[in-house]
Amino acid sequence: MGVDSFDTSIGGMGGCPYCGNGRSAGHVPTEDFVDLCHEMGIETGYDLQKLIEASWIAEEVVGHPLWGHVSKAGPRPRGGEVYPVDMPFVETLDEASHFINGPAVYQGQISPWQENSALLAGG
Which tens digit of pLDDT belongs to each residue from 35-60? 999 999 999 999 999 999 999 999 99
Instruction: From 25, 8, 5, 6, select the one nearest 71 (Cα to Cα).
Output: 8
H or E segment at 72?
A: helix 70-73
At 23, the pLDDT band (50, 70, 90 cuts) reads: low
Residues annotated catalytic, as ranges: 16
Region at 89 (left for phi over 0; alpha for psi -120 to 50; beta for the rest): beta
Which tens digit of pLDDT belongs to each residue from 97-117? 887 888 888 888 887 765 555
